Amino acid sequence: MLKGIHPAISPTLLKVLAEMGHGDELVLADAHFPGHQLHHQVLRADGVDIATLLEGISQLIELDQYVDTPLIMMQVVEGDTLDPSVERRYVSAIQQNITEKLNLTRIDRFSFYERAKQAFAVVITGETAKYGNIIIKKGVTPVKD
């Protein structure tokens, strides 16, 4: 256990976060996401919900400030319903550590899968919320004077 690191952040996830560069994307996927089919670098965080991981991750990295939307979620499929509390939970978890206004966009399911293929890594979580997947784009850590 490391001091100052959220207990939900595994050593493997910590390593991945440290290896990511500016503009790299990380997929935090629900328990049903086809991560192993889409990507070669898949981490497991079974039993951990995405809001908890976002709280821990946002303590460690900056979101990309050079793009309009560093947070991407999946759009609801026509005829399905979206639970707005999922997005609220995620934004609330991130805002515990990041004070900037958070811009989030939604893209259709298959565009999300294509984007996931290009991500740095995919983390399969214990999240069960429908449309609970999110992609986060890493930014630049500011230099302290």
Catalytic residues: 22
The DSSP letter of residue 63 is: B
State the Cα–Cα distance between residues 71 and 27, nearest whole angstrom: 10
Helix or strand or coil: residue 60? coil
Q: Which of 89, 88, 28 is nearest to 57 (CA)?
A: 28
